[in-house]
A and B are shown apart, each in its own frame.
Chain A
Amino acid sequence: MEFSYRHRRQITIWLVVLFIILLADRWWNDMLLTQMQPYFFYTRMDVITWMFMYTGIHQWLLNNPTACILFDAIFALLPLGYLLLFLFKPQWSFGFAWWWVFFNFVYVQCFTLYPTNSIEGHIAWLLLPFLFTCSSLKTFYFVLHFMRYFFCWFLVSAGLWKLCQHGAFNPDEMSAIIYMQHKEYLVTSPHAWFSNFYYWLIKNSWYGYAMYVASVIIELTFLIGFFTRRFDRVLLALYILFFIMDVFVMRIKYWELVPFIVTMYYSKYKIPTYSKGSQASI
């Protein structure tokens, strides 16, 4: 079946709804700027971030509750504003999407300069709004597939790094990561379910190592995604498994990457042969 405006509409609604759910999750976990009360920043080794820092916006937000409320409000309203425009005034939505792209860049740059936030985990916020700037159906289709390839690359490169850096060949890797990442948890809650599980993994280090190797295999499996789209549903299921294991084993939440699954779910459709009349047909 060919990719159509109906699919584009579904993708747009899905993505915007997912972004709104992620925003609600941030609010629920006190992870908005207003709730984080940033007090100092921590520079990372990112050339674009260095250029951005010359604006001083990241310093302006420090100890500035009003500015934080303003930033959060814009960040939260942009997906909603886009969805309303897309549904009722689609011809304006493409231009509006550029503002969304721009503001997400500014917000994510600042947000991830403050403690607890890594910029790599915000890649969906940075890249996916580009989809909505495409007025032609064909461009939308190509950008969607580009995002899909990026998502595959994200996982494959994580697997390759573990091979190249030799973590995948170190039987103590999982035990050492557990100690490094969760030592405070282990000490303060020695009898909690998680601690018992972690100590079991450390004691039976081959099981822990097997889990680490399994994660590397899952990541490398996404290499298939570069050659065929036939197994995208299987890859999706693997990603969901990987994601759940990350929460329950590593206590790392990769919620923010979830919107990328939409690119795999809609990958089976063929390239559209027409793309004119985009606004009218949406």
Chain B
Amino acid sequence: MVMILFIVGQAVINFNHGAVATPLYNYGMYSEVFKVKPVYAVIKVEVNGRNLRGEDFSIQQWDKIYLPIRYYLAADSNNNQMIDIRNRMFSKLGLHSLQSSNHHFTNTIISPKQFMDWYAKYLDEIVEAPVQSVLIKQQPFSSQKTILSPITDTDQLILPAWNSATGTVVK
């Protein structure tokens, strides 16, 4: 019986392209049509004056370096969007009391300065050296040549610079 429910649930989740329900997921990663874009915005992490290089880190370490930045930049809008979707669903199901309780669904406000303080400490473990400065920059790259080539000579800080000497974030 449990197995039949699992199979039916899995089928429903796959036909419905929306929300999933643990342990029923859809496994559609890398399935939609992607086109090569002419320009890619590339994030670079500079530690102690040098850009971190992919070849110096394992697969997991590289993910650990980059994903917190992307998730931090998107977390608030993503979590708020989830609250909206959740509330619409609960409203349809008549679960109005659950709708109003949102404090478990949002992070406490983390300022860019707080994030950088945490991230610098977090990087310490990954780069296995004392982190004295961290810059997180973004630069546009063109895919039109044989290798990705910078469109502009300068990159732009997307989060405040962090420096251990001053102990504060310098904007």
Listed in ascending order, the chain A residues whose CB lies under 8 Å from chain B are 29-31, 35-37, 39-50, 53-56, 58-59, 105, 109, 115-116, 119-120, 123, 126-127, 142, 146, 150, 153-154, 157-158, 161-162, 164-168, 170, 172-173, 175-177, 179-180, 182-190, 192-195, 199, 203, 247, 251-253
If A115-B67, A179-B36 touch, does A48 touch B31 (CB 8 Å cutoff)? no
Q: Is the CB of B21 within 8 A of A31?
A: no
Count of B residues near A, CB < 8 Å?
Answer: 72
Q: Is the CB of A167 within 8 A of B60?
A: no
Q: Tell which of B26, B42, B51, B72 touches A157, judged by Cβ atoms closer than 8 Å.
A: B26
Name the A residues within 8 Å of B72 (CB-CB). 40, 115
Chain A min CB distance to B82 (Å): 4
Q: Is the CB of B23 within 8 A of A187?
A: no
Listed in ascending order, the chain B residues whose CB lies under 8 Å from chain A are 3, 6, 10, 14, 18-23, 25-37, 40, 42-44, 51-56, 58-64, 66-68, 70-72, 74-75, 78-79, 82-83, 85-86, 89, 98, 101, 104-105, 107, 110, 115, 118, 121-122, 125-126, 141, 143, 146-148
Name the B residues within 8 Å of A195 (CB-CB). 54-55
If A40-B72, A162-B31 touch, does A116 touch B51 (CB 8 Å cutoff)? no
Chain A min CB distance to B16 (Å): 11
Q: Is the CB of B34 within 8 A of A180?
A: yes
Q: Tell which of B6, B28, B62, B107 touches A41, judged by Cβ atoms closer than 8 Å.
A: B107
Q: Is the CB of A109 within 8 A of B22?
A: yes
Q: Tell which of B27, B110, B126, B143 touches A30, judged by Cβ atoms closer than 8 Å.
A: B126
Q: Is the CB of A203 within 8 A of B146?
A: yes
Name the A residues within 8 Å of B75 (CB-CB). 40-42
Q: Is the CB of A157 within 8 A of B14?
A: yes
Q: Is the CB of B30 within 8 A of A177?
A: yes
Chain A min CB distance to B71 (Å): 4
Name the A residues within 8 Å of B53 (CB-CB). 188-189, 192
Name the A residues within 8 Å of B67 (CB-CB). 115-116
Question: How many pairs, one residue from A and one from B, have CB atoms within 8 Å of each other in the complex?
Answer: 197
Name the A residues within 8 Å of B62 (CB-CB). 184-185, 251
Give Cα A234 to B154, complex, Å.
53
Q: Tell which of B36, B54, B121, B125 touches A185, judged by Cβ atoms closer than 8 Å.
A: B54
Give Cα A29 to B10, complex, Å.
32
Q: Tell which of A30, A43, A150, A164 touches B64, judged by Cβ atoms closer than 8 Å.
A: A30
If A42-B78, A43-B82, A44-B82 touch, does A183 touch B42 (CB 8 Å cutoff)? yes
Q: Is the CB of A161 within 8 A of B26?
A: yes
* Across the A-B interface, the 3 shortest Cβ-Cβ residue pairs: A185-B54, A161-B28, A176-B34
Name the A residues within 8 Å of B37 (CB-CB). 176, 179
Q: Could you say which of B31, B44, B62, B141 has the most chain A C-beta atoms within 10 Å of its C-beta?
A: B31
Q: Is the CB of A184 within 8 A of B104?
A: no
Chain A min CB distance to B61 (Å): 7
A-B contact pairs, 15 of them (CB 8 A): A29-B60, A31-B64, A39-B110, A40-B72, A46-B25, A115-B71, A115-B72, A119-B22, A119-B25, A166-B33, A168-B31, A170-B33, A185-B55, A188-B53, A190-B148
Chain A min CB distance to B134 (Å): 15
From B98, which residue of chain A is reached at the shortest CB distance? Answer: A54
Name the B residues within 8 Å of A165 (CB-CB). 28, 31-33
Give Cα A142 to B4, complex, Å.
13
Q: Is the CB of A247 within 8 A of B146?
A: no
Q: Is the CB of B23 within 8 A of A123?
A: yes
Given contacts A29-B60, A165-B33, 14 further A-B contacts (CB under 8 A): A35-B125, A37-B118, A39-B68, A39-B122, A40-B72, A53-B105, A54-B98, A116-B67, A161-B27, A166-B32, A179-B36, A179-B40, A183-B40, A203-B146
Chain A min CB distance to B111 (Å): 12
Q: Tell which of A31, A115, A176, A190 touches B60, judged by Cβ atoms closer than 8 Å.
A: A31
Q: Is the CB of A194 within 8 A of B55?
A: yes
